[in-house]
Amino acid sequence: MTNTSEDAYRHIITESVAFLYPAALRAAVLLEVAEHLADEPRDVAELAKLTGANGPYLRRLLRFLASHGTFLEDEDGRFHLTPQADLLRADAPRSMRAGVLLVTEDGWWQSAAGLTEAVRSGEPAFERRFGQPIFAYLAEHPEHGPLFNAGMAAYSAGDIGYIIDGYDFPNDGVMVDVGGGRGGLLLAALRARPGLCGILLDHEKVLAGNLLPELGADDRWTLHPGDFFSSVPAGDFYTVKNVLHDWDDDQCVQILENCRRAMNPGARVLVVEAVIPPGNDPHFGKTLDIMMLTLLPGQERTQLEFERIFERAGFRITQVIPTPGNLSLIEAVPA
Ligand SMILES: C[S@@+](CC[C@H](N)C(=O)[O-])C[C@H]1O[C@@H](n2cnc3c(N)ncnc32)[C@H](O)[C@@H]1O
């Protein structure tokens, strides 16, 4: 056997069981292991008592996670937090607890299990498995809404600093965050630009959990419950972050056209999405694209694919700014 084929063999063996790692992360989050290690390292007997878990099984779970750098076992058998493990705590800066719980939730697993049927049919696996599109499902199953919105906010939070630092946000007029979820981006923009006001557009139930009261200046923002396929409020600056990737091209054109119709003169739009680079190199957007394929009619797009959508909606792209995270900033103005 040559080295190359040994490498290939090892690669497939390892990757074919990679689904066990997110399953283990989920178990650690639900058992709140990281919370119990926040102040001091502990051995498995202590952790088992605190988490209500079976000691030997818990040791195996933590040994596996430690082999991925999430927790660390010392020579005395005590487990410590690592920077990765710390992100599983609810109160950690940039906590990913809610994000892990979201993407390892049953609907996500089942949709991933339906990948083959999605690729055969060209339809999102979620819809085939659950009988309706994911946002309709979330609207009808309010018990899942908070998990989705908190998980989405956790995935978003890590990029918000890059977006604020990477783009010259206006310091006057009205910013409309289209499909802005809980408003993390709008809140950061309003904090960074004291002259700016904002409107948060999303479904009513999503807006109910919005973060904007944290600004402490209630006269600078309003909530706009609505449907961005019907209409979008008037404004001077539009942000559309991680929204277009949920939808097919025709639907994206509809959302952007609604922005263009509502825009005040001189307004611009900033779409924030992964832009898939050419070539074979790994890129988080390529992974996210498979998630989209299983869950929604949308997709991650190349720059050319974005250009086509903007052109159809009557926009011209003025700049594309990469960020140190996974997302790029695509600025456009009416053509
Ligand atoms: C993937 S999340 C992105 C949220 C936020 N922009 C962020 O980056 O964290 C998509 C958002 O679009 C909202 N949404 C979906 N369909 C919508 C519609 N027809 N009208 C308004 N908002 C919608 C969802 O409720 C959700 O908050």
Distance (angstroms) between ligand 1 centre and the Cα of 229 equals 11
Q: Which residues of the chain have pLDDT under 70?
A: 1-3
Residues 120 and 42 in one domain: no
Q: Specify the ligand 1 atom closest to the Cα of 206.
A: 25
The reported pLDDT for the residue numbered 3 is 63
Which domain covers residue 29, as residue numbers? 3-90
Whole-angstrom Cα Rg for the chain: 22
Question: Both tokens of residue 7?
Answer: 């490498």
pLDDT given for residue 204 in this prediction? 93
Q: What pLDDT is recorded for position 262?
A: 98
**Which residues does a 6 A CB cutoff place in the pocket of ligand 1?**
135, 152-153, 156, 179-181, 202-203, 206, 227-229, 241-243, 246
Residue 204: which residues within 8 A CB-CB, separation 6 or more?
225
Burial code (b: 16+ CB inside 10 Å, e: under 16) for 203-221 equals beebbeebbbeebeeeebb
| Burial annotation 302-323 (CB, 10 A radius, 16+ → b, else e) | eeeebbebbeebebebeeebeb
**What is the reported pLDDT for 202?**
97
| 193/72 same-domain check | no
Task: Give the separation between CA 46 and CA 57, rounded to whole angstroms.
Answer: 14
**Same-domain check for residues 135 and 261:** yes
Q: Is residue 151 part of a domain?
A: yes
254-273 per-position pLDDT tens digit: 999 999 999 999 999 999 99
Ligand 1, residue 181: give the atom nearest the CA.
Answer: 27
Contact assessment for residue 160 and residue 152, using Cβ atoms and an 8 Å cutoff: no
Convert the pLDDT of each residue in 80-132 to its tens digit.
999 999 999 999 999 999 999 999 999 999 999 999 999 999 999 999 999 99
- CATH number, domain at 86? 1.10.10.10
Provide the number of structural domains found in the chain: 2
Nearest ligand 1 atom to the CA of 243 is 10
Percent of the residues in the chain that have a pLDDT greater than 70, as a whole number: 99
Contact 276, 289 (CB under 8 A): yes
Same domain as 85, residue 128: no
Tell whether 241 and 284 lie within a shared domain.
Answer: yes
Q: Does residue 305 share a domain with residue 160?
A: yes
Residue 300 lies in a domain: yes
Identify whether 95 is part of a domain: no
Best substitution site from 202, 252, 289 to test ligand 1's pocket, by max atoms within 8 Å of Cβ?
A: 202
Task: Kindly state whether residues 327 and 242 are assigned to the same domain.
Answer: yes
List the catalytic residues: 245
